[in-house]
Structure 1
Amino acid sequence: MASIKAFVAPTAPSTETFRADLFKGKVLFCTGGGSGICKGMTEAIMKHGASAAIVGRKLDRLQAAAKELTAATGQKCLPCQGDVRQPKTLHDAVAATIAEFGRIDFVICGAAGNFLAPISGLSENAFRTVVEIDTLGTFNTIKATIPHVRKSKGAYLHVSATLHWRATPFQAHVSAAKAGVDALSNVLAVEEGPHGVRSNVLAPGAIAGTEGMDRLSAKGKDAEKRDMMYPLGRMGSIGDVANVGVFLFSPAASYVSGQVFAVDGAQEHIRTFQVPYPLSVLEPAKVRDMIQGKL
């Protein structure tokens, strides 16, 4: 008897759905845009005609990413060194963006920090660092950009997660920080809606090729079974998240604000832990070889 194969969701770039000049003349300001999901979203938005400024702490990485983004899209990308925990550096990055492009239409708040640690082994400083990058960093980015986004009647996207929707072992710090990000976005949507500004949250699930999944995902034979965990037959891709970002910045989403969008192929509804539970919390040393990162 032939085996029954589950459906596997196809992938398609946003350029197959939205017109190439969708964002012509628009400017994106993206924190964390030098790598991963935020770099992927920046590239997708630039492919529809937008210029971009990407912000991060490592200038060499930003400069390399900006060259790659320009080469891939034909649009200008400005690298701006800055730390979201330091408001002055964000204001400087915003000033450089305005000097270069004259406006800011879209903002992606994507700078983030993550590592695995149980509450019992988590220092106050480590917890504070993640909250400062994710939650306070989002607040600082909003404060630095909001005057310009008001002028352009633009929109915000905040990169969150699904970790805090249920309890996720070793992720208390990130869960707390991302819950704060979600709350900030909702309040921003209500306060700035009358000024013509929208704010939404993207909550990626397990996304292949990202630093987070490199640390958390299973190795070896367990990885072969991984795709069976997802209702749509595979892990998400950076492109999947980018496609939703393009939609949420587009005129098609002009009445969409104050929402959180999971991009996880419905995996949240059947979510299981990436590592065995409760063994992982009772004897964490025994699960080190089951994941790609370190506990």
Structure 2
Amino acid sequence: MFATDLFKGKKILITGGGTGLGRGIAERLLGLGAEIAICGRRRGVCEATADELMKAHGGVVKAYGVDIRDAAAVDAMVEEIFRDGPLTSLVNNAAGNFIARTEDLSPRGFDAIANIVMHGTFYVTQAVGKRWIHGRHRGSVVSITVTWVRNGGPFVVPSAMSKAAIDAMTKSLAAEWGRYGVRLNAIAPGEIPTEGMSKRLMPDEGKGTLAVNPFGRVGRMEELQNLAAFLLSDGCEWLTGETIAMDGAQALATGGNFYELRKWGDSEWKAAREAIEAQNARDKAERA
């Protein structure tokens, strides 16, 4: 679909690039000639991913350990990246989510999601954008959102609220920064199986999507990779301020996600919470 050197001379930062969707996007853009920077809270994971991608595809992948909830740390990372030349693009992928009845949420649980998804995404976008503007560089941003920004997300309210903020940021900054040659778009993917999503958001292991999706299947990584590559390319520079759903029309057909969980009672929520806590404990042990 794309020329192999489509992103030659481009330098792209991908948040949450060590695993999941971020890693998939990084791999595709690297294969198309881009220099890649990936960041995440677990520097070791990002470094391992960088090594694996360079061994498989060549090129340059630099890894950074940063908690995007820390605005000062984000700014320092972006400053370091720009010392070797400006970024040309940014992919806001870092996120967090879990299913829960909203009445059961603690302030800490809400903040855990909002601080990563809303605050962190803004910190990174502002840190990159202000350097583009001051240096008179053109730039492109793609943020990963969700279809719930259009119709809400029951049982994932912190994520729905925070992703809606990214949708609003995309539209707002597309209008504000267009005069500087900076574009912002977003992708709202449906279910594309990754380790993190499967652990915390799909207690039925994706069977629900197979039953209700008009295509009768989940999404494929290469579909997201190709859409991200198109949006970041120079092939359609007048496209900005848009959020593109890529979910096989599932949101149109069903009205949203997770609404079926209204049928759960206390026992089902208890089991789901225990499963998530157990997985969190395993993840913590692996990082130790």
Which TM-score bucket, shorter chain as reference? 0.7 to 0.9
The aligned runs of 1:11-90 (5 Å cut-off) are 17-90=1-74
Q: Does 1:159 align with 2:144?
A: yes
Is contact 1:158–1:202 with CA below 8 Å preserved after alignment? yes
Q: How has the CA–CA distance of structure 1 residues 201 and 61 changed in structure 2, closer, same or farther, with 3 Å as cutoff?
A: same
Aligned-partner Cα distance in 2 for 1:167–1:286:
22
Is residue 197 of structure 1 aligned with residue 179 of structure 2?
Answer: no
The answer as to whether partners of 1:216 and 1:291 remain within 8 angstroms in 2 is no
SS at structure 1 position matched to 2:244: strand
Retained in 1: the 8 A contact 2:38–2:61? Answer: yes
Q: Which runs of 5+ in 1 are unaligned?
A: 1-16
Shift in CA distance, 52/292, structure 1 to aligned 2, threshold 3 Å: farther
Equivalents in 2 of 1:46, 1:149: separation in Å? 22
**Separation in 1, partners of 2:37, 2:66:** 11
Shift in Å, 1:166: 2.7
- For the 8 Å contact 1:217–1:274, the answer to whether it is kept is no
1:146-295 paired onto structure 2 within 5 Å? 146-150=129-133, 151-217=136-202, 219=204, 223=207, 226-271=209-254, 273-274=257-258, 276-280=260-264, 283-286=265-268, 294=276
Aligned with 2:235: secondary structure? helix
1:292, distance to aligned residue in structure 2 (A): 11
Name whichever of 109-118 and 147-156 sits farther off.
Answer: 147-156
User: Is 2:72 the partner of 1:110?
Assistant: no
Give the 3-state SS of the residue equivalent to 1:252 in structure 2.
coil
Which has the larger displacement, 186-195 or 270-279?
270-279
Give SS of 1:247's match.
helix
User: Relative to 1, partners in 2 of residues 1:75 and 1:107: Cα closer, same or farther, differing over 3 Å?
Assistant: same
CA distance in 2, matches of 1:132, 1:277: 25
- Amino acid across the alignment from 1:147: K
Corresponding letter in the other structure for 2:62:
L
Give the direction of change, closer, same or farther, for the CA distance of 1:292–1:235 in structure 2 (3 Å limit): farther
Q: Tell me, what secondary structure is at the counterpart of 1:68?
A: helix
For the pair 1:95 / 2:85, whether they are aligned, the reply is no
TM-score normalized with structure 2 length? 0.87
In 2: Cα distance, 1:128 partner to 1:226 partner:
28
Equivalent residue letter for 1:122: L
Contact 2:11–2:35 at 8 Å: present in 1 too? yes
Residue identity in the other structure for 1:120: E
- Structure 1 stretch 203-212 or stretch 76-85: which is displaced more? 203-212
Paired AA for residue 13 in structure 2 = F
Greater Cα shift, 17-26 or 244-253:
244-253
What displacement does 1:288 show?
6.3
Q: How big is the shift at 1:145?
A: 0.7
In the alignment, the residues of structure 2 paired with residue 196 and residue 72 of structure 1 have an alpha-carbon distance, to the nearest angstrom, of 34
* Most deviating of 134-143 and 68-77: 68-77
1:135 is matched with 118
TM-score (norm 1): 0.85
Q: Is the alpha carbon distance of 1:227 and 1:96 closer, same or farther for their aligned partners in structure 2, counting shifts above 3 Å?
A: same
Deviation at 1:273, TM superposition (A): 4.8
One-letter amino acid matched to 1:50: A
CA RMSD in angstroms, aligned pairs only: 2.3
TM-fit CA distance, 1:87: 1.4
Distance 1:152 1:122 in 2: 42
71-80 or 209-218, which moves further after superposition? 209-218
Counterpart-to-counterpart distance in 2, 1:90 and 1:147: 13
- Give the aligned residue type for 1:260: T
CA displacement at 1:209 relative to structure 2? 2.4
Identical amino acids, percent of aligned pairs: 29
